[in-house]
């Protein structure tokens, strides 16, 4: 089955009760048993729920994996991955990553004795130089949030395989429409399904997909034992969102290209970060591992002035100033004071998250209207 068919049918069956084409929202916490253990495969909704199961099967299908897991948020999904580790274990992570992930690693799991190394991952040899006998996980975002760096997943996978380390890839920005990390050698693919998979800014949810049965069993155990699961209503909404993922992503990419090119030619803009530009330092890797370049763009105005950046995001009318990304509507953000405020200033500035950086999640409105909005806001 090709990707555009998988988004609609992958892992799905018509409901066995009445043949409903969309899985019903099984709004139940528990399931009747005829005798202890006498049930139809469902006992309690933290462990299993038919609507969530349908969604988890869809996650597995679109990422070319075998096992899907749905969580209450993207961070809950990452939390489950780090719970595979023990005190003394080490993680090599991208240094440019979502501020909440950085906060989870440094403010929660460091206290449990897990050590994190935050590094630029554009060079796999550099990543390998951080490997020691305690290294258990390499954690990569690509494209990174918010600097749009591109990391070569295949190259990281060969380092991970050589040293018997797990490789996890946060595929939130790219989505499986653009890249499929498991096919490139990753062991775990993760999503903030809040973003493009849900696609309509109405749900907070996380996803994991793996191929290996033993790894899946450990993650299902953690999912049930820790209990950060999503509800059936949210499962239904994200399942519905996935059905249009390929159509939405195509338009996000088309609009992203037009907006990125407009910004690159604007006299007041100093720099635009978007992997589709030939001048992007990892453009060749992006071309090789991604189908297109996506709708996420960051930029800095000339003079790198904080107040000017705030003025621009406040002036936008179609782009809504808000946290999050990946919905049908365009959003703008100011990472230094919003999504990445939990990263110390000197750390975030090392990766380029300067005070004047603005991040855009380009939606699927008419590109001319989006460009006109930027034109009036930048002035
Ligand atoms: O918000 P949540 O569903 O828990 O997902 C966290 C997360 C994980 N990974 C990436 C790459 C993310 O972008 C996010 C959430 N990001 C935002 C809210 C944001 O505006 O960047």
Residues in Cβ contact with 183 at an 8 Å cutoff, skipping those fewer than 6 apart: 64
Nearest-CA residue for atom 12 of ligand 1: 98
Residue-level pLDDT at 101: 97
Dist. CA 144–CA 96, nearest whole Å: 6
How far does the centroid of ligand 1 lie from the alpha carbon of residue 286, in Å?
21
Domain boundaries along the sequence of the chain: 3-242, 246-378
Quick one: fold of 246-378?
A: 3.90.1150
Task: Describe the chain by its helix, strand, coil percentages, rounded to 5.
Answer: 40, 15, 45
Residue-level pLDDT at 323: 96
Dist. CA 194–CA 74, nearest whole Å: 7
How far does the centroid of ligand 1 lie from the alpha carbon of residue 192, in Å?
6
* Three-state secondary-structure class, residue 223: helix
Nearest-CA residue for atom 20 of ligand 1: 324
Q: What is the pTM of this model?
A: 0.98
Which helix (DSSP H) or strand (DSSP E) does residue 333 occupy? Answer: strand 331-333
Catalytic residue set: 46, 98, 170, 195
- Return per-residue pLDDT of the chain as tens, 379 residues: 999 999 999 999 999 899 999 999 999 999 999 999 999 999 999 999 999 999 999 999 999 999 999 999 999 999 999 999 999 999 999 999 999 999 999 999 999 999 999 999 999 999 999 999 999 999 999 999 999 999 999 999 999 999 999 999 999 999 999 999 999 999 999 999 999 999 999 999 999 999 999 999 999 999 999 999 999 999 999 999 999 999 999 999 999 999 999 999 999 999 999 999 999 999 999 999 999 999 999 999 999 899 999 999 999 999 999 999 999 999 999 999 999 998 899 989 999 999 999 999 999 999 999 999 999 999 9
The atom of ligand 1 lying closest to the CA of 173 is 11
Dist. CA 93–CA 344, nearest whole Å: 16
CATH number of 3-242: 3.40.640.10
Neighbours of 379 (CB within 10 A): 9
Dist. CA 108–CA 377, nearest whole Å: 39
Residue-level pLDDT at 143: 98
DSSP states along 55-95: HHHHHHHHTT-SEEEEESSHHHHHHHHHTT--TT-EEEEES
Ligand 1, residues at Cβ distance < 6 Å: 73-75, 98, 100-101, 141, 145, 170, 172, 192, 194, 204, 206, 323-325, 333, 339
Query: Residues 182, 68: contact at Cβ < 8 Å?
Result: no
How far from 254 is each of 83, 222, 360, CA to CA, in Å?
Answer: 39, 39, 14
Nearest-CA residue for atom 1 of ligand 1: 74
Residue-level pLDDT at 161: 98
Residue-level pLDDT at 342: 87
Burial of 162 (0-12, 13-18, 19+ CB in 10 A): exposed
Dist. CA 279–CA 308, nearest whole Å: 26
- In degrees to the nearest 10, what's the CA dihedral of 246, 249, 255, 257? -110
Residue-level pLDDT at 192: 98
Query: Residues 301, 269: contact at Cβ < 8 Å?
Result: yes
Dist. CA 179–CA 289, nearest whole Å: 6
Residues in Cβ contact with 267 at an 8 Å cutoff, skipping those fewer than 6 apart: none
How far does the centroid of ligand 1 lie from the alpha carbon of residue 170, in Å?
10
Burial of 20 (0-12, 13-18, 19+ CB in 10 A): exposed
Residues in Cβ contact with 122 at an 8 Å cutoff, skipping those fewer than 6 apart: 149, 150, 151, 152, 281, 282
Neighbours of 14 (CB within 10 A): 11
Tokens of 253: 């990419």
* Whether the bond into 274 is cis, omega within 30 of 0: no
Residue-level pLDDT at 304: 87
């Amino acid at each position: 089955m090709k990707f555009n068919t998988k988004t609609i049918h992958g892992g799905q069956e018509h409901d066995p009760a009445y043949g409903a084409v969309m899985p019903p929202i099984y709004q139940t916490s528990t399931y009747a048993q005829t005798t202890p253990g006498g049930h139809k495969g469902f006992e309690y909704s933290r462990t299993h729920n038919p609507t969530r199961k349908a969604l988890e099967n869809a996650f597995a299908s679109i990422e070319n994996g075998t096992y899907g897991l749905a969580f209450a948020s993207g961070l809950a999904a990452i939390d489950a991955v780090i719970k595979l580790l023990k005190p003394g274990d080490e993680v090599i992570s991208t240094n440019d990553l979502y501020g909440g992930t950085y906060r989870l690693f440094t403010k929660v799991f460091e206290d449990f004795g897990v050590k994190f190394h935050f590094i630029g991952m554009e060079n796999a040899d550099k990543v390998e130089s951080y490997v020691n006998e305690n290294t258990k996980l390499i954690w990569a975002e690509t494209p990174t949030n918010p600097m749009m760096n591109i990391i070569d997943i295949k190259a990281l996978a060969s380092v991970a395989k050589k040293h018997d380390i797990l490789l996890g890839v946060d595929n939130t920005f790219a989505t499986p429409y653009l890249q499929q990390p498991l096919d490139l050698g990753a062991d775990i693919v993760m999503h903030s399904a809040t973003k493009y998979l849900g696609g309509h800014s109405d749900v907070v949810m996380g996803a994991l997909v793996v191929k290996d049965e033993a790894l899946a069993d450990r993650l299902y155990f953690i999912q049930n034992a820790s209990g950060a699961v999503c509800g059936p209503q949210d499962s239904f909404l994200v399942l519905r969102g996935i059905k249009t993922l390929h159509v939405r992503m195509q338009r996000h990419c088309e609009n992203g290209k037009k907006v990125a090119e407009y910004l690159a030619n604007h006299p007041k803009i100093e720099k635009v970060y978007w992997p589709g530009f030939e001048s992007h330092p990892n453009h060749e890797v992006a071309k090789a591992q991604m189908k297109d370049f996506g709708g996420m763009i960051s930029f800095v105005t000339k003079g790198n002035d904080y107040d000017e950046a705030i003025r621009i995001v406040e002036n936008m009318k179609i782009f809504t100033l808000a946290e999050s990304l990946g919905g049908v509507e365009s959003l703008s953000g100011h990472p230094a004071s919003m999504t990445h405020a939990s990263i110390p200033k000197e750390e975030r500035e090392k990766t380029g998250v300067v005070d004047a950086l603005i991040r855009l999640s380009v939606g699927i409105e008419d590109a001319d209207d989006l460009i006109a909005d930027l034109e009036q806001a930048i002035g």
